[in-house]
Amino acid sequence: YADITDDTQFANYQDIPVINKLNTFRQNLPKDPRRIQDLPLNWEQSFTILMELKKRVDNDFNYLTRGNGKTERVKRRKKDKARDMQRLLAFALLVIVPPIRCRSLAELEFGRTIKCGLKDNSGFQPRSLLSDISLARFYYDMKANDYKTGKVYGDYFVELPNKQFEDGSCFYDYLNRWFFEGYRDSLLSHQQVHQRMFVKPK
CA angle at 10 for the pair 30 and 102, rounded to the nearest 5°: 55
E strand or H helix at 63: strand 61-65
Q: What percent of the chain has pLDDT over 90?
A: 57
More confident residue, 20 or 169: 169
pLDDT band (50, 70, 90) for residue 33: low
Q: Please tell me the predicted confidence (pLDDT) of residue 34.
A: 67
More confident residue, 103 or 34: 103
Q: Please tell me the predicted confidence (pLDDT) of residue 170.
A: 97
If you average pLDDT over residues 37-55, what whole number do you get? Answer: 89
Residue 169, number of CB atoms within 10 A of its CB: 14
Number of helical (H) and strand (E) elements in the chain, helices listed first: 6, 6
If you average pLDDT over residues 29-38, what whole number do you get? Answer: 72
pLDDT band (50, 70, 90) for residue 201: low
Q: What percent of the chain has pLDDT over 70?
A: 97
Report the chain's mean pLDDT, rounded to a whole number. 90
Selection from 201, 202, 197, 182 nearest residue 93 by Cα:
197
Q: Please tell me the predicted confidence (pLDDT) of residue 30.
A: 79
pTM: 0.77
pLDDT over 60 at 86, yes or no: yes
If you average pLDDT over residues 117-127, what whole number do you get? Answer: 94
More confident residue, 22 or 29: 22
Contacts of 184 (CB under 8 A, 6+ apart): 82, 86, 178, 197, 199
pLDDT band (50, 70, 90) for residue 14: confident
